[in-house]
């Protein structure tokens, strides 16, 4: 356990004016409250709050945050109360401890509706005082560092929650070091074999190439001395999870991965950053498309740095980050830099972002979301997205997530511009609206009077702001017609279960489905955004639960005309619940693709063949085959257990092909018949939990095609 003297020493190193008496009192009070409590490792429980406080002290945070860390579990787990903490340490600290307690009680990995509501509460807590989330992140970091003492099933739950929520949140706040450590600790639990494999390959590579980091560091220092620039050069290998993610994104093996080394160059003045960039590019060849200037265009969390990738020794690609020491302090601490102390006073770092403005900018994007699933979608898009910087024709900068399209750009300018968009030019060239914008490009939106948003735009836009505005506009179009149709559908649905669609029943359904009023319910029902089954189920769940009606394949897709039939594309095997698009063929056949299918690129210059489609909501028949790529241990009974697990998930195996046989592992392709994307997730989750399954992934083959793909247009 970290001793009180050690903790006080850590704090006094950066804050000689720290209230030592109050810190000592908080330490003793926390230890007294947790007396007799132990962690699963057998250590005294108070060792955990003390370690969390030390993590925050390493970030040079203020006394209130350190004391909150020492007391963060007292209100929840001991006889201490808000009143007793406020009486001893003041209302500010009591509020912080209470805020951390409420965050701890949020089940962030629960069902989607609950998860969305809890994300709202998370942002609300952050908006009151950002230090609450700083303590919670440090709490999660220490729990992940000591996760081996937990039960295996709890390890998996905590690791997934960390990878999905806390690591991206730390990154969004600019605390990149914490994001990387959280990701790597979670990766160790979720995929230990992959992590160990990368470490082994990395050690082999280091042995073969000697001290490549040391040699490149020495080369860079030599070039900077020649240019008479005083700078600190730091080299490092990237974390195992970062390497694994690059392998997955680029679909390449470790041997083909190039930029696995990173170098950081620290200088004193802003102008020296550009002088360093010139010296580096003069000595090594820059890799095209890998340059980012976050000094002239900082990130919203205050991050500033120049990023470039160059071909170094032996043709190895290395990433170089160039920044001043002040920029580096913010890059290490992110939004937390606002509370950072140095020599007893609040650090006056000119690059530290105001937390109130940061959280206001983050939450503003989600205020317009009208339901839980849309809010959750917007949150996850923004938390995980990297940024691209593009320009208006006048030279104004627009920040968008990576993968954004001209539709997102138009709505980022103004909702009115988005609604009226009919086309776009990128760098002066007319491009399709689904074009992905790249860093540094100039975008011009072409608008026309009378234009209204199209349903297909939902499959093109990726920002929460654009998608929310498009949904609202589409709902407003033909709203009266949808309400009339929805009322008729509701009447028939209620009669089907022997009930009447009274005003009271519809009001009850709207309230349970968290919709504004009955008109909104009927409009969504009429536009097929809501199924009749979900409406009746909201009022009479027992009656609807007994119904066994399933949606057949003949009525599964919405958007086809009466004389059109469809088939699923074999290349991407789309499932109900996934976003889809149709491509028409001669003879009125339609092939349905997943919106992210690579083969859609073949039809970019044929927009007339695209159809806006979506799956019918409700319970689908288990008739949609999907191929899984599974690697299992070569032991007796393993294949039988895998087949049993799939059967327990009510999925049928229609085919099984061995792709590779090794002495210790088999790799096979398994075709299974599923209901929807959620059913697929259940099967994969069940197989991932099996210790003899080394890896599992959905198999998509761009070379496979549907029958209609063989017919010429």
What is the distance between the alpha carbons of residues 464 and 476, in angstroms, rounded to a whole number?
18
Q: CA angle, 61 as apex, 56 and 63 as ends, to 5°?
A: 100
Residue 350 lies inside a defined structural domain of this protein: no
Looking at the fold, whether 505 and 471 belong to one and the same domain comes out as: no
Higher pLDDT, 505 or 474: 505
Count other Cβ atoms within 10 Å, centred on residue 522.
27
Query: Which pLDDT score is estimated for 574?
Result: 93
More confident residue, 244 or 709: 244
% helix, strand, coil for the chain, step of 5: 50, 15, 30
Mean pLDDT check: name the lowest of 84-98, 320-334, 445-459, 542-556.
Answer: 542-556
pLDDT value of residue 708 = 45
C-alpha–C-alpha distance, residues 26 and 368, integer Å:
42
Task: Fill in the DSSP letter of residue 558.
Answer: E
131-145 and 91-104 are packed helices; what angle lies between their axes, rounded to 10 degrees?
50
User: What is the mean predicted confidence (pLDDT) over 199-211?
Assistant: 71
The predicted pLDDT at position 687 comes to 85
More confident position, 279 or 587: 279
Cβ proximity of 388 and 402 under 8 Å: yes
Q: Do residues 531 and 630 both lie within one domain?
A: no
Please report, in angstroms and rounded to a whole number, the separation of the first and last CA atoms in the chain.
Answer: 72
607 and 699, same structural domain? yes
Q: What is the pLDDT of residue 471?
A: 82
Share of the chain above pLDDT 70, in %: 84
pLDDT at 709 > cutoff 80: no
Domain edge (last residue) among 160, 189, 218: 189
Residue 359 lies in a domain: no
- Report yes or no on 415 lying in a domain: yes
pLDDT, tens digit, 9 for 90 and up, residues 408-442: 999 989 999 999 999 999 888 888 888 888 877 88
Is residue 312 domain-shared with residue 328, that is, in the same domain?
yes
163 in Cβ contact with 183 (< 8 Å): yes
pLDDT exceeds 50 at position 533: yes
Which tops the pLDDT comparison, 173 or 698? 698
Query: Do 281 and 309 have their domain in common?
Result: yes
Tell me the pLDDT of the chain averaged across its residues. Answer: 81
Alpha-carbon distance of 114 to 106, in angstroms, equals 9
Among residues 426, 443, 476, the one where a domain terminates is: 476
Tokens describing residue 175: 């605390």
In a domain, 266, yes or no: yes
Angle between the 20-33 and 4-14 helix axes, to the nearest 10 degrees? 150
Confidence of residue 373 (pLDDT cuts 50, 70, 90): low
pLDDT at 586: 73
Let me know whether 185 and 198 are in one domain.
no
Do 140 and 218 have their domain in common? no
Is 276 part of any domain?
Answer: yes
Residue 644 has pLDDT above 70, yes or no: yes
Number of domains the chain contains: 5
DSSP-derived letter for residue 163 is: I
The whole-number average pLDDT for the span 285-291 is: 82
C-beta separation of 336 from 61 below 8 A: yes
Measure the CA–CA gap between 143 and 162, rounded to whole angstroms: 10
Compare 521 and 205 and report the one with higher pLDDT. 521
Which phi and psi angles does 445 have, rounded to 5°? -95, 130
Q: Which two tokens stand for residue 687?
A: 């197989």
Token pair for residue 358? Answer: 């940061």
- % of the chain beyond a pLDDT of 90: 20
Query: Bigger pLDDT: 22 or 472?
Result: 22
Residues 25 and 166 in one domain: yes
Judged against a pLDDT cut of 50, whether residue 490 lies above it is answered with yes
Q: Which of 172, 189, 206 is the last residue of a domain?
A: 189
Domain CATH code at residue 316: 3.30.460.10
Q: What is the pLDDT of residue 28?
A: 93
Do 11 and 149 lie in a common domain?
Answer: yes
Does residue 314 register a pLDDT over 70? no
Same domain, 181 and 202: no
Higher pLDDT, 265 or 204: 265
| Confidence at residue 587, expressed as pLDDT on a 0 to 100 scale | 64
| 465 & 614 share domain | no
For residue 344, tell me if it sits in a domain: no
Q: Which domain holds residue 539?
A: 479-545
Question: pLDDT at position 646, please?
Answer: 85
Distance CA 119, CA 634 (A): 43
Q: Inter-axis angle of helices 503-512 and 518-526, to 10 degrees?
A: 80
Rounded to two decimals, what is the model's pTM?
0.55
Q: Which two tokens stand for residue 386?
A: 């990297």
Whether the CB-CB separation of 244 and 195 falls below 8 Å is answered with: yes
State yes or no: pLDDT of 550 exceeds 80.
no
More confidently predicted of 304 and 311:
304
User: Comparing 370 with 28, which gets the higher pLDDT?
Assistant: 28
Give residue-wise pLDDT tens across range 226-271.
Answer: 999 999 999 887 788 887 877 776 666 665 565 677 899 999 999 9
Q: The CATH number of the domain where 452 resides is what?
A: 3.10.20.30
| Alpha helix stretches (DSSP H) within 15-73 | 20-33, 47-58, 63-71
Residues with a known catalytic role: 76-77
Residue that the structure tokens 């190039």 belong to: 258
pLDDT at site 252: 62
Asked whether residue 470 carries a pLDDT value surpassing 50, the answer given is yes
pLDDT band of residue 545 (cuts 50, 70, 90) is low
pLDDT over 50 at 663, yes or no:
yes
Q: How far apart (Å, rounded) are the C-alpha atoms in residues 438 and 407?
A: 14
Higher per-residue confidence, 159 vs 364:
159
Q: HEC profile for 483-539? A: HHHHHHHHHHHHHHCCCCCCHHHHHHHHHHCCCCCHHHHHHHHHCCCCCHHHHHHHH
A 10 A CB-CB count for 265 gives 26
CATH of the domain at 606: 3.30.70.260
- Sign of the torsion angle spanned by Cα atoms 342, 347, 348, 352: positive
pLDDT for 23 equals 92
CATH code assigned at 165: 1.10.3210.10
| CA separation for the pair 537, 221 (Å, rounded) | 69
Residue 176 class from Cβ within 10 Å (0-12 exposed, 13-18 middle, 19+ buried)? middle
Tell me if 357 is assigned to some domain: no
Q: Is residue 259 part of a domain?
A: yes
Spell out where 573-664 has E strands. Answer: 580-585, 589-594, 610-615, 624-633, 652-661
Q: Are residues 161 and 201 in the same domain?
A: no
């Amino acid at each position: 356990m970290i001793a009180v003297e050690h903790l006080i020493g850590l704090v006094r190193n950066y804050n000689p004016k720290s209230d030592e008496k109050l810190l000592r009192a908080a330490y003793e009070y926390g230890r007294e409250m947790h007396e007799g409590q132990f962690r699963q490792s057998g250590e005294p429980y108070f060792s955990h709050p003390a370690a969390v406080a030390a993590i925050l002290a390493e970030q040079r945070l203020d006394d209130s945050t350190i004391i909150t860390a020492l007391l963060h579990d007292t209100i929840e787990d001991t006889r201490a109360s808000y009143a007793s903490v406020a009486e001893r340490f003041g209302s500010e600290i009591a509020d912080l401890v209470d805020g951390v307690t409420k965050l701890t009680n949020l089940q962030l990995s629960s069902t989607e509706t609950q998860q969305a509501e809890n994300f709202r509460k998370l942002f609300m807590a952050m908006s009151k005082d950002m230090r609450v989330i700083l303590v919670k992140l440090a709490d999660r970091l220490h729990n992940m560092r000591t996760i081996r003492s937990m039960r295996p099933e709890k390890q998996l739950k905590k690791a997934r929650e960390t990878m999905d929520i806390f690591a991206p949140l730390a990154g969004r706040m600019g605390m990149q070091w914490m994001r990387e450590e959280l990701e790597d600790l979670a990766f160790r639990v979720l995929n230990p074999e992959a992590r160990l494999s990368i470490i082994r390959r990395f050690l082999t590579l280091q042995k073969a190439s000697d001290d490549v980091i040391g040699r490149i560091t020495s080369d860079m220092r030599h070039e900077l001395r020649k240019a008479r620039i005083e700078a600190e050069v730091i080299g490092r290998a990237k974390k195992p999870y970062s390497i694994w993610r690059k392998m997955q994104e680029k679909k390449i093996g470790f041997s083909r991965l190039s930029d696995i080394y990173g170098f950081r160059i620290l200088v004193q003045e802003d102008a020296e950053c550009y002088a360093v960039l010139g010296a580096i590019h003069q000595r090594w060849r820059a890799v095209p498309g890998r340059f980012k200037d976050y000094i002239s265009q900082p990130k919203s969390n205050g991050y500033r740095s120049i990023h470039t990738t160059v071909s170094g020794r032996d043709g190895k690609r290395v990433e170089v980050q160039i920044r001043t020491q002040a920029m580096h302090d913010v890059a290490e601490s992110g939004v937390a830099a606002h509370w950072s102390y140095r020599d007893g006073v609040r650090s006056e770092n000119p690059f530290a972002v105001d937390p109130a403005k940061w959280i206001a900018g983050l939450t503003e994007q989600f205020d317009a979301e009208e339901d839980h699933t849309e809010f959750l979608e917007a949150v996850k898009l923004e938390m995980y997205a990297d940024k691209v910087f593009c320009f208006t024709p006048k030279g104004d900068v627009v920040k968008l997530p990576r993968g954004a399209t001209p539709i997102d750009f138009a709505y980022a300018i103004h909702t009115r511009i988005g609604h009226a968009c009919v086309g776009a030019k990128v760098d002066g060239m007319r491009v399709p609206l689904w074009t992905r914008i790249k860093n540094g490009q100039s975008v011009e939106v072409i608008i026309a009077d009378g234009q209204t948003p199209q349903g297909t735009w939902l499959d093109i836009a990726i920002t929460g702001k654009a998608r929310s505005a498009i949904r609202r506009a589409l709902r407003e179009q033909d709203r009266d017609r949808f309400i009339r149709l929805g009322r008729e559908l509701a009447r028939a649905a209620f009669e089907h279960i022997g009930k009447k669609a009274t005003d009271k029943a519809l009001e009850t359904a709207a309230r349970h489905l968290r919709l504004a009023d009955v008109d909104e319910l009927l409009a969504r029902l009429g536009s097929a955004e809501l199924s009749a089954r979900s409406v009746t189920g909201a009022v009479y769940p027992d009656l609807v639960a007994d119904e066994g009606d399933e949606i057949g394949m003949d009525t599964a897709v919405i958007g086809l005309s009466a004389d059109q039939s469809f088939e699923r594309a074999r290349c991407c095997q789309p499932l109900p619940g996934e976003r889809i698009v149709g491509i028409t063929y001669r003879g009125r056949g339609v092939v349905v693709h997943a919106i992210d299918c690579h083969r859609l690129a073949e039809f970019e210059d044929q927009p007339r063949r695209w159809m806006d489609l979506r799956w019918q909501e409700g319970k689908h028949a288990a008739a949609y085959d999907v191929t899984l790529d599974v690697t299992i241990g070569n032991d007796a009974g393993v294949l039988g257990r895998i087949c049993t697990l799939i059967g327990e998930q009510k999925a049928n195996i229609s085919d099984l092909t061995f792709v590779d046989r090794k002495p210790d592992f088999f790799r096979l392709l398994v075709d299974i018949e599923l209901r929807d994307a959620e059913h697929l997730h259940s099967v994969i989750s069940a197989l991932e939990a099996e210790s003899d399954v080394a890896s599992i992934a959905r198999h998509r083959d761009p070379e496979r095609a549907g029958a209609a793909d063989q017919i010429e247009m």
